């Protein structure tokens, strides 16, 4: 057994993002949902030693129980009891007839301990496997730790990693081989593509959309006979969808006649607590009016985090910070940045309602 001097002990310090080598992202992983969360937190901690680790040293990681679950410690115990048998398989798909492979057991020892009244998992990683996890180079996947930990399906967890491998470098549209995808998701090989689609892909799609606002569509991009061998992915985050909504509204605004823009602005201005003078300034100046409509659209679709929309727009239009105190009490609160407003006042809808009102 190696001495304590041959091991590097890491104190727990959470970082908001994970950076993992693509070879880990695309590997076949046997983990359950809770085991995967433990692995995700371990990768988060390995970033602390990427520069200080020395070849030949094992690493001990500490993962607080509280980061994994509020009170279901039995789930952690169940995951820990099998984690030291679970493998990651690296496979070279460039030669289908004789692919190279490497089976790795990342955590051969897993134990629980208490420190300063808190319970932790201690994970030991052997020196031989550590380079696979910390040698980032230029090929790595970056993802938000909080979003990853919010996912409960292992298929959603793995799809999030794979999608972020592309999305993180600006590729919102990409193709991926079905065989590689099935391997990465550790999906049973005896199930056909339609089972894989229904039980893995659609489950991941739904959970990612509901929990983290990441939308992805997938369609067959290549077939061999009737078999689907490659999929085309199109990915949009919640922020992308917000930008789409804003672009649609602003493109409609650009096609409007001056009197239509004026009608929309007049309709919208009453949602805010502007003074009479400020309302007149907005409605009588075409530049202020267009800026007002753009700011309204961005706030109500959730692009801007603004606690006091009236004050924010007033200042942006050059009216200054002062808003009468009596008008602030019932000030509407805009949604946070990145949170899509499902019921915004859209320019096209407003224009349609106005047109209906003025029709004879």
Please state the pTM of the whole predicted model.
0.77
pLDDT of residue 300: 83
pLDDT in tens, 274-311: 999 999 999 999 999 999 999 998 888 888 888 899 99
pLDDT per residue over 231-262, tens digit each? 999 999 988 988 888 898 888 888 888 888 89
- Is domain 1-143 classified as CATH 2.170.120.20? no
CATH 1.10.10.10, the chain: domain bounds: 1-143, 151-236
pLDDT of residue 337: 46
Tally of CA atoms within 13 A in the half-sphere of 168 that contains its CB: 20
More confident residue, 96 or 107: 107
> Which of these ranges, 108-112, 287-291, 339-343, has the smallest mean pLDDT?
339-343
In sequence order, what are the residues at sequence separation of 6 or more whose Cβ sits closer than 8 angstroms to the Cβ of residue 10?
45, 46, 48, 49, 59, 60, 61, 62
Q: What is the mean pLDDT of residues 51-66?
A: 88
Torsion of CA 187, 193, 194, 200, to 10 degrees: 30
Q: What is the largest CA-CA distance in the chain?
A: 91
Instruction: Say which DSSP state 226 is in.
Output: T
Of 50-54, 67-71, 215-219, the range with the highest mean pLDDT is 215-219
DSSP character string of 282-316: HHH-HHHHHHHHHHHHHHHTTSS--S-HHHHHHHH
Using a pLDDT cut of 90, give the percent of the chain over it: 54
CATH of domain 151-236: 1.10.10.10
pLDDT in tens, 7-26: 777 788 899 999 999 989 99
């Amino acid at each position: 057994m190696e001495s304590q001097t041959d091991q590097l002990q890491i104190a727990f310090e959470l970082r908001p993002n994970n950076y993992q080598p693509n070879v880990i992202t695309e590997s076949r992983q046997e983990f359950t949902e809770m085991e995967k969360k433990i692995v995700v937190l371990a990768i988060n901690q390995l970033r602390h030693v990427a520069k200080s680790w020395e070849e030949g040293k094992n690493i001990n990681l500490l993962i607080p129980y509280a980061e994994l679950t509020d009170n279901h410690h039995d789930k952690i115990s169940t995951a820990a009891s099998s984690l030291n048998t679970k493998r990651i398989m690296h496979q070279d798909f460039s030669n289908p007839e004789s692919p190279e492979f490497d089976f790795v057991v990342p955590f051969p020892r897993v134990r629980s301990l208490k420190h300063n009244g808190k319970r932790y998992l201690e994970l030991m990683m052997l020196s031989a496997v550590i380079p696979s996890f910390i040698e980032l180079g230029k090929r790595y996947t970056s993802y938000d730790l909080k979003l990853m930990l919010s996912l409960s399906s292992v298929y959603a967890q793995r799809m999030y990693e794979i999608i972020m491998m592309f999305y993180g470098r600006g590729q919102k549209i990409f193709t991926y081989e079905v065989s590689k995808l099935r391997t990465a998701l550790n999906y049973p090989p005896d199930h056909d593509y339609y089972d894989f689609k229904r039980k893995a892909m659609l489950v991941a799609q739904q959970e990612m959309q509901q929990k983290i606002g990441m939308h992805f569509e997938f369609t067959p991009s290549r077939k061999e006979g009737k078999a689907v061998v490659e999929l085309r992915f199109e990915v949009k985050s919640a922020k992308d969808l917000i930008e789409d909504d804003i672009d649609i509204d602003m493109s409609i605004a650009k096609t409007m006649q001056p009197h239509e823009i004026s009608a929309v602005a007049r309709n919208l201005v009453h949602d805010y607590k502007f003074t009479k003078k400020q309302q007149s300034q907005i409605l009588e100046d075409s530049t202020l009016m267009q800026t007002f409509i753009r700011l309204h659209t961005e706030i109500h679709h959730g692009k801007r985090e603004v606690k006091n929309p009236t004050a924010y727009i007033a200042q942006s239009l050059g009216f200054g910070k002062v808003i009468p105190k009596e008008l602030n009490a019932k000030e509407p609160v805009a949604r946070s940045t990145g949170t899509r407003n499902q019921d915004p006042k859209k320019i096209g809808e407003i224009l349609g309602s106005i047109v209906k009102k003025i029709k004879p």
